[in-house]
Every structure is written in C-alpha cells, then in structure tokens.
Amino acid sequence: MKFKYLIVFVLFYGLAIFVAGCGEDETADPADTGSTASTELVEDQPDKDKSIQEFNLEKRKKQTKTRFPGDTIDLMEAVLKTYPKGSYVIEEDIPNSLGIPPAAVIYRQDGASKMVFALIATSREGMERDRLIESKNVIGYDQSFIDYDSTRLGTALFFMTGFTIDGRNFSRIWEKYTPSHGGFRLMTLQNWAVKNIPYIKVDFYAQFKNATFYFNYFFLNGFNQKPHLLLTYEGINQRRVMTDANGDKFPDYIEYVFVDNDHSIAVVDSVTYIWKDSLYVNTRYPEKVTPY
C-alpha cells in the first residue's frame, strides 16, 4: 500500500515539474544588442538617435507660433548638422509642463553683432562602454544622480557656448566647459552689482550632495571673449557664496564650514578664496586651491 502511494507521489511531482517548465517563456537578454534589431538601444544607434532628434524638431516647428532667422530651432538644426552625433541644445527643467520646454539659450545684441549663448551637451567619445547620451537623462532632479551610472547612460559633457548669428548661420566664437554630467535645471542672465559685470548663471541639481550647484560665467572682457567660471553652491550642510574680497574685477568666494552630526547642522567657520593668476587660493592656507 505504501509503495502504491509512493508511485502516485512520484508521478504527481514529475508532472508538476513538467508543467512548470512548459510555462517558462524564453526572453531575450536586454544586454544582448547583437542578436536582433528589436533589442538594440537608441543610444547605441547614432542614425536612429538623429532621426528622433529630427522628428522632435519638426514637432517643435509645428508648435512654435513665432519664428525668426537664427531662432532656437535654427540653432538646434545647426547643432544637429555640425556637432558630433549625440549632441543637444539642452532644454530647461520645467516639471509638469504640457508645452514646449524652453531651451537653455540667451539672445543678446552686442553692438552690431547678434549673439546667442547656449548650453550644449555632447556625448563623450573614446571609451569602449560609452553610449550616446539622451537629453532626458541629463535634465532634472532625478538625473543629478547620473554620475553613479553615467557610463551606461552615456557620459554628457556640457559646454557654455557663444555664437554670433548672421541670418540662419551660426559661428561659434568660444566655448567653456561646465563641470557636471547631469541634473541641469535652469540658465539665466544675471548682473554682479558690485562690479556691474554681467554673467550667466547655470543651475544644476546635485542631490547626491544635497545641494544645488551654480556655474557662474562672468563676462569680464565683453561677450565675445571666453567667460570666467566661478562655482557656488547651496545645500543643507555646505555653502559657497560669491564675494568681492580684494577689489579686482574677478569674483571671489567664501566657503562655509559645517558641523553635521545626529543632533544638529551648523556653520562653525568660513574661509575666503581669491583669484590669483589661474586658480582660486585659500587666504588662510595658500596650498589649498581650486580651479573655479
């Protein structure tokens, strides 16, 4: 009798394994981009990336009511045609917006010259694992964490860039590297009232450091010359603010020192950095320097 029950148990167990095995679907490994075209990623296919940008440009043209020669759409087309694949005129982070996000561009008439300043992101080349960036992966709060996975999503290199405009033709006259890989928020034209010097302020979320970074591009010698970069930031346990420490035309900054423990977060000290030659130098410990 026991032998009969044992046979029934073995048959039932074997049937259960067979049914479970039949229910498994074969799935393609998403990391395998060489088997079929359907598993390939857009960022791995420069031609597809370009076609998507062209489609988005056409959509932007239909939704834009007012056009003029050398406008933002013309600039985007010029970047698409002349820059390396995987390059974008970056758009600002406008959460929950149903309209067209404004691009990070600023127009200015400088004497007889019409100029435009634009934040442009390009895809880093030369690394085996690098991919083309997608603009959605470098804009906004969540994308400020991209440094932890920037290789897989593509590594973005940002440049503040100045162009002169002649009709629909753009001539690049300078570009200045923006030392961040993702989390762009906003770009605005400001004025440093202390010296009456214009500058462009570029905001980046930096939530992996609980802060917002501000890349400030000062036009010390006019808009046709490459600007001077000063980094400031504001966070729950870190702060750097611009100041005029020594009276020259270069902006300086004050770095605040925080104590951060389980009980409180408080400022306990501050130190001033001034610009000397090509570096910012700590006025208390001259061996401590920063490039911006």
Side chain identity, residue 210 = N
- Single pTM value for the model: 0.80
Per residue in 149-180, pLDDT tens? 555 677 899 999 999 999 999 999 999 999 99
DSSP character for 86?
S
- Judged by DSSP in three states, 41 sits in coil
Question: Does residue 15 register a pLDDT over 70?
Answer: no
**In contact, 137 and 154? CB cutoff 8 Å:** yes
Q: Look up residue 65 and give its two tokens.
A: 């009511």
Task: Give 166 or 36, the one with higher predicted confidence.
Answer: 166
Cα separation, 29 vs 229, whole angstroms: 45
**In contact, 137 and 153? CB cutoff 8 Å:** yes
Cα separation, 203 vs 187, whole angstroms: 6
**In contact, 216 and 203? CB cutoff 8 Å:** no
Task: Give 46 or 101, the one with higher predicted confidence.
Answer: 101
